[in-house]
Amino acid sequence: MRILLAAVFISILNQSAFSQTKSASKSYLEEAANLTREKSVLAAFAEIERLNPQTLQELIELNEIPAPPFKETNRGLAYKSMLEEAGGVKVWIDSVGNVLALRKGRTGKRLIALDGHLDTVFPEGTDVKVKLKGDTLFAPGIGDNTRGLMVVLTVLRAMEKASIETEDDVLFVATVGEEGNGDLRGVKHLLWEIRFQN
C-alpha cells in the first residue's frame, strides 16, 4: 500500500511539477527522483505513514458498506464525508452519483484526475464483512476497489497536510458503475462533462 501510494503521489506531482522549468534533457526518472527529495514531498510521505492506522480503519468501514452495481449511493455518501474531512477542496456528487473533490492548482491550465470506483462486482446480499487473518484483510471488494478509494483519499490528505501546491488542478474522483453492467457509466459521464466544460 505504501509503495502504491508513493508511486501515485509522485506521478501526480510529476504531472504538475510545481513551478519548476523542465529541461528537455531531464528524464522522467530524474524528475521523480528530484521530487522525492523535496521537503514537502518528504512531509507528505511521512503523513502517509502516520495516516496508516486511520487509513486501514476507514478501509474496513468503507468496505462494509455494500456497493453492488447501481447501488453505490450509501458508500458514495460516506466517501464524500471523508473527502470533506480532508479539507482544502470543493466536494460534490454529480448527477450520476460520482463523488468528486477538486483541489485547485496555481494556474488551473490542466486537470489531472485520480480515480477509484465505488461499486463492487459482488451482487446485493454478499457478506462484505472484513476479516483479519494474520496481517491481511479479507472481504469481497476490499482490493477492487475499496483499497483504490483509500489511495485516492490518502493522497489528498497527504497533499493537504504537507501544503503541496501544484500548477494544475487535481480532481479526486470516486466513480460509479465501473463493474460489469455499469459499463463505466461514471467515468464516461465524467469525461463527457469535462469535454464540454473546456
- DSSP assignment of 136-151 equals EEE-TTIIIIIHHHHH
Q: Are 167 and 107 in contact (CB under 8 A)?
A: yes
Distances (CA, A) of 180 to 70, 147, 150, 176: 10, 19, 22, 11
Q: What letter represents residue 149's amino acid?
A: L
> Which residue among the candidates 58, 119, 168, 169 is catalytic per the annotation?
119
In contact, 162 and 44? CB cutoff 8 Å: yes
Nearest-5° angle of CA 53, CA 105, CA 30? Answer: 75
Identified catalytic residue from 58, 72, 178, 179 = 178
- Known catalytic membership, residue 178: yes
119 is catalytic: yes
Kindly list the catalytic residues.
119, 178
